[in-house]
């Protein structure tokens, strides 16, 4: 799916024209951008549901035999 995003300020001028132009293409959807502000503002928690964790693979729990170098 391809989204043709029209800025809210230009929606009155472009939305109908682009919708008509892409009407025959089932892979294109014309939408209006209705966001009011930037989601990544300084100090924003971004919803507060983000989990910060180490990306490296954890070691297996337990103890292991020591391997001597040859």
Query: Do the domain assignments include residue 50?
Result: no
Q: What value does the mean pLDDT take over residues 61-68?
A: 82
Report yes or no on 42 lying in a domain. no
pTM above 0.85, yes or no: no
Task: Provide the token pair at 43.
Answer: 């100090």
Q: Report yes or no on 27 lying in a domain.
A: yes
Tell me the CA distances in angstroms from 3 to 31, 54, 59, 64, one per residue in order.
Answer: 7, 34, 43, 53
> What is the total count of domains within the chain?
1
Residue 28 lies in a domain: yes
Q: Does residue 46 lie within any of the structural domains?
A: no
Domain containing 27: what range?
A: 2-33
The answer to whether residue 40 is domain-embedded is no
Mean pLDDT to the nearest integer, 22-29: 96
Name the band, by pLDDT with cuts 50, 70 and 90, for residue 29.
Answer: very high
Give domain status of residue 54, yes or no: no
């Amino acid at each position: 799916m391809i989204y043709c995003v029209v800025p809210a300020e230009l929606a009155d001028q472009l939305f109908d024209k682009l919708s008509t132009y892409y009407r025959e293409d089932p892979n294109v959807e014309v939408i209006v951008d209705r966001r009011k502000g930037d989601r990544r503002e300084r100090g924003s928690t971004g919803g507060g549901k983000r989990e910060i964790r180490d990306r490296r693979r954890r070691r297996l729990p337990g103890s292991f035999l020591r391997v001597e170098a040859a």
